[in-house]
Amino acid sequence: MKCLIIAAGKGSRLWHKGKSKPLIPVLGIPLIERVIRSVTASGIDDFYIVIGYKGEQVRTFLDALSKRLGINVTFIINNEWEKENGYSVLKAKGYINEPFLLLMADHLFDPVNVNKLIKYPLDDGDIVIGTDKNVHNPLVDLQDVTRVYTENGKIRKIGKGLTSYNGFDTGIFLCTPAIFNAIERRLSEFNDTTLSGAIQLLAAHGNANDHKIVPESRLFNQEDSIDNSMLDSFFDDDFFRSKKSPFEEMEKIRERMMRQFESHSGDSKGGIFDSWFKKKFGGGNPGEIKQREDDDFVYYDITIKDLVNQKLDIQVQDGQITISGTIEKKSSDKEDKENSRQYFSSTFHRSFPVPYGVDDTKVQIDQDGEKVIIKLPKIK
């Protein structure tokens, strides 16, 4: 399935955050990258991006991203980006002639919503809109959000000025090419270039369907596989190999992520990230791993508490470095005398990607107490 993403607007309300709205970072990752990664989690890899304002900046970024993610990106130019978003959608008419996913570059969502929406049994000439039924959400800007009134699985009315409504438009759509015809008709009859106007036209004929998105409680309050898959997607091997200090960058993103969760729900959700990190890297936290380099080597400095001072095992396989060894701890029973405390031993491992530009057949490892230093010679 093809995915059309609208990324042509100026984004004046976010101007203080950055000059190109699609490239404004959220927790260190640009908005449009988050949208694309959320879609690729459902197996979609064919993207059509409508660009306009600061289009070359967006194109340059997406050219690099497409190579990293192994996706196809076709750019569609909208030189009249000042018009409403329906006009940007219409620009894709000559490119897409089959059912497609329609998204906005600045609308973030749980990937599970896309995965469910693309399975909707769509009839020819219909569209489906992902709607949020939590109309009492205090985070929603009622002056800006597009409201919908739904009944029996159908969109009956849509618009920002609705006084009677029971949901919000989330900017997630499954469309047939009928949406292009509806936009053209609204444009010719009313000079209306809004997407909502075209949807209202389809709704009047019973062709606009309602699809309830995953509840907010799932998006923010559940520790499930979706969270792990999103973290896997964001912090993939390319993230580590493209950053000069990836673990330091990860720790900064983690801190911002936790603050955002805490401000939203009063819970930092540190357990989601920490359990994922332990599973992926074998334990510890990003703050215990430092990456540095000089003219000859790339180094990983790893702190492992209670590490026994003995030879460590290191393996390089499938682009991953794995070290393993033994941790030894004393009993925590304070009533025991010092010389009678028991010792408990366990094994550990840490794994992380091999950086670009190094010879992974000549890995060196040094140990100084609880500090392990891995040296990877640069290829010259």
CA angle 356, 24, 161 (to 5 degrees): 150
The rounded mean pLDDT for the chain is 81
pLDDT digits (tens, 9 = 90+) for 9-66: 886 665 556 678 899 887 778 899 999 999 998 889 999 999 999 999 999 999 999 9
Q: Which fold has domain 290-377?
A: Immunoglobulin-like (2.60.40)
Local confidence band at 250 (pLDDT 50, 70, 90 cut-offs) = confident
**Does the 2-214 domain belong in CATH 3.90.550.10?**
yes
Query: Among the residues of the chain, which ranges form H helices?
Result: 31-40, 55-69, 85-90, 111-117, 178-190, 195-204, 216-221, 225-234, 237-242, 246-265, 270-281
Local confidence band at 115 (pLDDT 50, 70, 90 cut-offs) = confident
pLDDT digits (tens, 9 = 90+) for 128-160: 999 999 888 777 888 889 999 999 999 999 999
Going from the C-alpha of 65 to that of each of 33, 52, 289, 372, the distances in angstroms are 8, 18, 26, 33
Q: Is the pLDDT of residue 187 over 90?
A: yes
The encoded tokens of residue 270 equal 């540190």
Q: Is the pLDDT of residue 182 over 90?
A: yes
Local confidence band at 370 (pLDDT 50, 70, 90 cut-offs) = confident
Element of type H or E holding 124:
none
Confidence (pLDDT) at 323: 81
- Report domain extents, the chain: 2-214, 219-286, 290-377
Lowest mean pLDDT among 282-286, 330-334, 335-339: 335-339
The answer to whether residues 156 and 149 touch, using CB atoms and an 8 Å cutoff, is yes
The encoded tokens of residue 26 equal 């959220």
Q: What is the mean pLDDT of residues 196-215?
A: 91
